[in-house]
Structure 1
Amino acid sequence: MSSPAHHQAEGREGGAALLAGGGTRLETVESAVRLLVEITAAALVAAEVILLFTGIAFRVLHRPLIWSDELASILFIWLAMFGSVVALMRGEHMRLTFVVDNLSPRAQAWCETLAVGAMCALFAMLMHASILYAEDQSYVELPALGWSGMVRALAVPVGFAFAILVCLLKLARHAPKDIAAVLAIFVVVGTGLYVAMPLFAAIGNWSLVIFFVGLLCIGVLSGVPIAFSFALATTSYLLATTSTPLTIIIGRMDEGMSGLILLAIPLFVLLGQLVEVTGMAKVMVNFLASLLGHTKAGMSYVLLGAMVLVSGISGSKTADMAAVAPVLFPEMRRRGMPEGELLSLLAAAGVMSETIPPSIVLIAIASSTGVSIAALFTAGIFPAILLALVLAIVARYRAAREPGQIEVTRAPRSVVMKALVTAVPALILPFLIRSAVVEGVATATEVSTIGIAYALVLGLLVYRGGLTWNRVLPMLARTASLSGAILFIVGAASAMSWALTQSGFSHVLAQAMAAVPGGKTGFMLISVVAFIVLGSLLEGIPAIVLFGPLLFPIAHQFGINEVHYSIVVVLSMGLGLFAPPFGLCYYAACIIGHVPPEAGMRRIWVYLAALFAGILVLALVPSLSTMFL
């Protein structure tokens, strides 16, 4: 997982001379571009919240706005593109830097140049196709608004243009010799692929290995963000082996990013930030600490309970950990809990809470596979609670073996009741969100706006002081950045999944998986292992979006309930996502908890083993996931 400092250091070597001469002018341009893009992205987030909440209000008044969903869709694609540009500026596109971080500083600088150059090359290759796609959409008329489809489709070339500008500004800070070397590599690779086109035609689908294993792995391991590695592999494959126009990639990315259910992602990300800023997370954690903190492993129970509660609000594991760890870790350290134990428990809790609604991964799987989001939200709670109990047992066992931890006396009943009264308004929120979706009062997208409105009221009237005007723009820009990074991955994975399907790979995969020994049970077990590996290498959402549409039809052939299968693969993916040395979110937990990665490398495995055992039980006993459907 790349850190902000890692990105701030990129290109320093060799870039000093440039900055000495024209740095002021370059910094001025960068600041202007950043301000323009971030304000636009923040305004789009705010507009979506206002629009959706207004739509709900008018529907309650029996005067529905028939054009609201259409306008929300238009704003959403613009938000996705501008958000991805903000993420590009901030270096927040998800990437695997485990290999790069172990290289010399000189090699790291070169890899950073390669990553920026690869992103710039992708946007340049797709720019013309995006313009053609926008022109094609001009013949489409939006039914409710009566506007040209180009109004919506122009978001893609405009976003690409800003992205190219940002990449060029980043490259201006890199050493000229590194830029020249990267450019030479691109020319050599491009020429080689062009010359090898007859060979690709001769070997047929074996060319998939070259592009979707070889080229993709090289990109990911060299630090190119995962979404861009997907898109580059797909673009290169189509150019070198087919006559398919690149507008297909733009169309598939547009389709992948445009599902209205995905609009819940930026809204729940914003809600998660509000929960942290307003102090709602803190009062919930304080109540749990007063109730359980005196018991053996009490603070471990508090951390698990807090992750359950906060996960029922934000849907983002990074946001959940960022809300819980800063509140709990100082006290846990004071009581003598080792750093590695803190990190291990936090990461394991992140796995456990992957299926607690409103999980962003559940939203993504519903969007890509068509599984009912209400059913997923209902089914995801009990498996998470079961895994939380498993982790609590392990934490209790570990606490008994840890000497030197400070014992704390039980809090007086008056303190517990005071903490409860303070926390009740915040504790209502996760139950409000879940019941509104499950009972059909609001969709997964709409309920997030209700949660935002509720959090704003609490922040302004109940938990005063944390929410101020000077924090609004950074929150909205941060929401756009995280959402843009997620949505661009969804779009790139959708295009890659389409290419794999068209190549016939999905048919081959279906035959191979259908032939797995053990039938239904064997398929479930191999799915668990496969998604653990995919989660550790590709991050959660791209793994789900890429392989969900390929594997869910096979699960259906075996007679496996699609909701049960969803819960199992999401938890398996989460286990890989938080497992060192490759799991990206393990390093996110390190950054959030201010704990070095090596501190948890040995301690985390007992927690991961317990989670793996729990996932196997869930895989083999479908009723644990479907009993409340």
Structure 2
Amino acid sequence: MDVLVIILFVSFLILLMIGIPVAYSLGIASFIYLTLAGIDLFSIPQKMYEGMDSFVLLCIPGFVLAGNLMNFGGLTEKIVDFGNHVFGHIRGGLGYANVGSSMVFSGISGTAIADTASIGGILIPAMKKSGYDTEYSCAITAASSTIGPIIPPSVPMIIAGTLTGISVGRLFIAGVIPGVLIGLSQFFVNWYMSKKRGYPKGEKKSLKAILKSFLDAFWAILMTGVILFGILGGIFTPTEAAIVAVIYAMVVGLFIYKELKVKMLPKLFVQSARSSASILLLVGFANVFAWILTREQIPQMVANGILSLTTNQILIILLINLLLIFVGMFMETISAIVILFPVLLAVTRTIGMPDIQFAVMAVLNLIIGLVTPPIGVCLFVSAKIGDISLARISRAIVPFLVANIIVLLLVSYIEPITMWLPSILN
């Protein structure tokens, strides 16, 4: 390997270890490489702009803003309350409500951390108060957040599609069945753990109360339906869906639930702009880094290295899964996708795996990394809300990790799970 490439990677890792944010670590490492290689530094803004110059990326600010409007407009609370009414009388009902709320909320936020913070802020205190172990309450909240970036819309899938030219709409569709499978597997874990530990049953709600709760949550639930069926039906693109979601969340929050106030909007706009800018800056610097890797033919070297170990398709997919989960534990999801996706795509194309199947598999791997000890980011968020140590939540998350990994293996080796819906809706 070229000395300059070694310097590139070493400088990037050192910057990360001393606490420099990922985006700036990518940018500084790229700057060092280009300077030593004698390449015109104008390449940096050019490649950054190329990475961000995509119509599809416009939906990221839209979905970030829609998620914030949803939280402050009362939509999240309505969804959680409806889940409690439906599942509350079953043993472990708040656990089911947690997972179910994440499945609905994922249709708007598209990110795991937003899901953990929003749902966790409501349900973790409620579960603790109802008699659930604190670590279990935090663990199921973190685990259910892995549904968010799989069921559409999904910010990581937007990035993956933009990088490779894969249809973002088809990626969204391909994520539906895996997302539902994750939800069902976590329902099963919750059923088993609740029965084993004797978690409480809530008061059974009357049909009238459930219906009232549904009507209260109707506009929040309908938002998910509008986004999903609008994209699936070809009515609007993912970018247009993001704008529809913003307008919808604003109208419902201001005029129907009336919990969103006009005076809140400037603060929400600024907060959403900052979050979106940080994502796009990360994409820009990561594109510079990825361009250097391509220039040095790193993707081909990685592909050849893996294929030199084995040509067995099952083992190659297993190796890729292990690599992605490991990287997902340490690196922010979008950065990992920008850097690794083009590299590993060359390998999966060699073994005949469909690009869409690989994209869903890669995103699922990296999202599982967010809840994998010792440094999964969603574990930190959930543990902070529950005010417990990382060690306690790490032990409690294990059953949910096992369930997620089983779904990951199904997605990795059974092609129709990801390809069936895109094929019939093509």
Instruction: Pick the aligned partner of 1:511 from 297, 300, 304.
Output: 304
**How far off is 1:345 after superposition?**
0.8
Instruction: Please name the residue that 1:603 is paired with.
Output: 396
Q: Output the CA distance in 1 between the equivalents of 2:68 and 2:99.
A: 20
**Aligned counterparts, 1:477-492, within 5 A:** 477-492=270-285
Please tell me the residue identity of whatever aligns with 1:476.
F
Q: Output the CA distance in 2 between the equivalents of 1:371 and 1:589.
A: 33
- For the 8 Å contact 2:62–2:245, the answer to whether it is kept is no
- Matched position secondary structure for 2:374: coil
2:104 aligned with 1:309, yes or no? yes
Change (3 A) 1:237 1:495: same
**How far off is 1:569 after superposition?**
0.7
Structure 2 unaligned runs (5+)?
none
Please tell me the residue identity of whatever aligns with 2:69.
L
Instruction: Please name the residue that 2:179 is paired with.
Output: 384
Instruction: Pick the aligned partner of 2:18 from 216, 222, 226.
Output: 222
Instruction: Pick the aligned partner of 1:371 from 155, 163, 166.
Output: 166
Instruction: Pick the aligned partner of 1:435 from 229, 238, 247.
Output: 229
- For the 8 Å contact 1:576–1:583, the answer to whether it is kept is yes
- Matched position secondary structure for 2:148: helix
**Aligned counterparts, 1:485-504, within 5 A:** 485-504=278-297
Please tell me the residue identity of whatever aligns with 2:18.
S
Instruction: Please name the residue that 1:556 is paired with.
Output: 349
2:5 aligned with 1:208, yes or no? yes
Question: What is the number of equivalent residue pairs in this alignment?
Answer: 422
Q: Output the CA distance in 1 between the equivalents of 2:30 and 2:67.
A: 34
**How far off is 1:377 after superposition?**
0.9
Instruction: Pick the aligned partner of 1:413 from 191, 199, 207.
Output: 207
Deviations 1:154-194 (A, max 9, x none): xxxxxxxxxxxxxxxxxxxxxxxxxxxxxxxxxxxxxxxxx
Q: Output the CA distance in 2 between the equivalents of 1:268 and 1:287.
A: 23
**How far off is 1:560 after superposition?**
0.7
**How far off is 1:591 after superposition?**
3.3
Instruction: Please name the residue that 1:582 is paired with.
Output: 375
- For the 8 Å contact 2:54–2:162, the answer to whether it is kept is yes
Q: Scaled by the length of structure 2, what TM-score is found? A: 0.95
Q: Output the CA distance in 1 between the equivalents of 2:84 and 2:104.
A: 13
**Aligned counterparts, 1:34-433, within 5 A:** 205-212=2-9, 214-240=10-36, 242-403=37-198, 405-433=199-227
Q: Scaled by the length of structure 1, what TM-score is found? A: 0.65
**How far off is 1:592 after superposition?**
4.3
Q: Output the CA distance in 2 between the equivalents of 1:596 and 1:474.
A: 32
**How far off is 1:515 after superposition?**
2.8
Q: Output the CA distance in 1 between the equivalents of 2:257 and 2:135.
A: 33
Q: Output the CA distance in 2 between the equivalents of 1:603 and 1:551.
A: 32
| Bigger RCO (CA 8 Å, 6+ sep) | 2
Please tell me the residue identity of whatever aligns with 1:551.
L
Deviations 1:513-551 (A, max 9, x none): 333425322221111111111111211000001111222
- For the 8 Å contact 1:272–1:320, the answer to whether it is kept is no
**How far off is 1:353 after superposition?**
3.0
Structure 1 unaligned runs (5+)?
1-203
- For the 8 Å contact 1:539–1:583, the answer to whether it is kept is no
Change (3 A) 1:532 1:406: same
Query: What is the root-mean-square deviation in Å for CA atoms of aligned residues?
Result: 1.5
Instruction: Please name the residue that 1:531 is paired with.
Output: 324
Instruction: Please name the residue that 1:474 is paired with.
Output: 267
- Matched position secondary structure for 2:38: coil
Q: Output the CA distance in 2 between the equivalents of 1:424 and 1:389.
A: 23
% identity of equivalent residues: 27
Structure label with greater radius of gyration? 1
Instruction: Please name the residue that 1:176 is paired with.
Output: none
Change (3 A) 1:480 1:594: farther
- For the 8 Å contact 2:299–2:342, the answer to whether it is kept is no
